[in-house]
Amino acid sequence: MKEKFRRFMAGRYGGDDLNQFLCIASLAFLVVAMISHVRLFYYAGLALLLYSYYRMFSRNISKRTAENYRFYTFKENLASGWRSKRSQWASRKQYRYYTCPQCKQKLRVPRGRGRIQISCPRCGTQFIKKS
């Protein structure tokens, strides 16, 4: 039986992190559907589970790899944004954060210096803010 399954899966994509996320999300939707008795959650969970199985048994490996790469990129962008916000929150007593009005670059200036002229290192725009 194990050998038959191994032969069946030869040349197919299999599981990856996106599939794992889809399975967990579908499970969460199905649990919410059982608790709330809302059919929309049930159908969403079922659709995610079916898509996960479709990806797992797909023979188009290059397309599935590209999907997984986009998922990793999205996940890393989300995580880096969260880390940035967390570090800003941790250092909020020492620094103030401003965005450049020209290029939208985030700038960090020390607190308690009064009104200071801030110069953006990216575009060179100068503006005055209270620190």
Same domain, 22 and 68: yes
Structural domain boundaries, residue 14: 1-90
**Which of 24, 9, 15, 27 lies closest to 68, judged by CA?**
15
Beta bridge partners of 129: 116
**Which of 120, 121, 117, 119 lies closest to 129, judged by CA?**
117
Same domain, 35 and 64: yes
Same domain, 77 and 121: no
| Domain tally, the chain | 2
Same domain, 96 and 65: no
From first to last of the 131 residues of the chain, give the pLDDT tens digit. 888 877 777 777 878 899 999 999 999 999 999 999 999 999 999 999 999 999 988 888 899 999 999 999 999 999 999 998 999 999 989 999 998 988 888 998 998 888 989 888 888 888 888 87
Same domain, 131 and 73: no
Place of tokens 């890393």: 76
Same domain, 46 and 107: no
Q: What is the DSSP string of 83-112?
A: HHHHHHHHTTTTEEEEE-TTT--EEEEESS
Same domain, 4 and 65: yes
